[in-house]
Amino acid sequence: MQQNRLMKRTAVYCIAFTFAAMSAILYYSANKIIVVADIAQDEVVQSAEHEGAAGEKVTDKTRINIDRDSRDSDYFCIPLPDNVKPEEVTLENHYMDQEVWVSIDLKNPEEQRGFYENQSVYGDCENVLDGHFDVEKKRICLRFALTGVFEYQSVFENNTLYVKFVPPKEVYDKIVVIDPAYGADENGGESDGVKGKNITLDIAKALKTKMDETDIKVYYTRMDDSNPDDRTRVRLAVATDADMLIRIEVGSAENSRIYGTEAICNSRFFIPDFGSVELADLLEREVVTAISGKANGLVEVTEADVVIREVTVPAAGIKAGYLTNSQEFVLLQRDDYIEKIADGICRTIQKVYDK
């Protein structure tokens, strides 16, 4: 008898659960409410622009009309062409450029050009400065310039994408900016074809893998071979209201005997309890311990250290070895050594939040 009652009760629970699940599915299907994919800039894989007949790249930009008089929504509203599916729409957070891109995959994007030539975006446009769209091989990309760095809440409903802009500090309690130095034409020192800009990027990528497993939000000033100017790097830390900035560098010297790890700090930027000096000291100790290396001590910023000198959050640079030293030249090309440097930076960040 008791077993029968248990089986009946289980059956009732299963039916109730199935009914609730089906109700939810039917509700969302009827209302067509779906959150679209949201990708941060450090996760974006750029698609190639379409090429002209001669093989040259073509960028075809057309301005998007923004209806700033229509405020019937608390969201920024972006109409989409008919038959666009939610999985064909992606939000890309290009935070270094303070832009949001809405990428729409289409078989024949050229046919949809007229839609955005004649259709306005509307709603809460307060954080949107301007917009244009590019027609590429297999997509239309809507690009909106913003007043700052934002995270997003988005909903796809009735062929309209609704986007709410949210300041990062309202989403994340812990925010860090990582600044891999150099990039593009600035090599950051070079020895036998090995460039500092690639070493700092390798360290940042190894660090990202580790930080993605934590509850700490990390913004990266670059994750490719670009070279944002110093003030743009500083702006990212200010715009995100970051708790700290860590710059990754490598050393280069005329004297090939110079080697070791040193941290750069701005001792004039003082915050009680934990400021730039304390961050630099902890950063050097953790990285040196991780690589079993030599500590050269803390180094005061110079005129050339614009990022660390001008940023208004605790900041430090870690110079993780010298490419001009024969031993560290070899070490800085080893994946396991790069991983150890990233480990030291990761532990630094975690210990700062544990304090």
Q: Is the pLDDT of residue 33 over 90?
A: no
Instruction: Identify whether the C-beta of residue 176 lies closer than 8 Å to the C-beta of residue 217.
Output: yes
Buried b (16+ CB within 10 A) or exposed e, 40-59: bbbebeeeebbeeeeeeeee
Residue 26, pLDDT above cutoff 80: no
CA–CA separation, 70 and 78 (whole Å): 13
Q: Report which of 139, 178, 185 is spatially closest to residue 42, judged by C-alpha positions.
A: 178
Quote the mean pLDDT of the chain: 87
Mean pLDDT computed over 246-268? 95
At 325 the pLDDT is 97
Handedness of CA 38, 42, 47, 49 (dihedral sign): positive
Sequential DSSP letters for 204-255: HHHHHHHHTTSS-EEEES-SSS----HHHHHHHHHHTT-SEEEEEEEE--SS
CA 95/CA 235 separation, integer angstroms: 10
Q: What is the pLDDT of residues 94-130, one digit of tens each?
A: 999 999 999 999 888 888 888 999 999 999 999 999 9
CA–CA distance, 202 with 183 (Å, rounded to integer)? 12
Give the rounded percent of residues in the chain with a pLDDT score beyond 70: 85
- pLDDT at residue 34 in the model: 55
pLDDT of 46 reads: 52
Q: Calculate mean pLDDT across residues 11-32.
A: 41
Query: What average pLDDT score do residues 316-322 get?
Result: 97
Report pTM. 0.85
CA dist., res. 196 & res. 181, Å (int)? 8
- Residue 110: the pLDDT is 83
Least confident span in 19-33, 141-155, 209-223, 293-307: 19-33
pLDDT digits (tens, 9 = 90+) for 133-158: 999 888 999 999 999 999 999 999 98
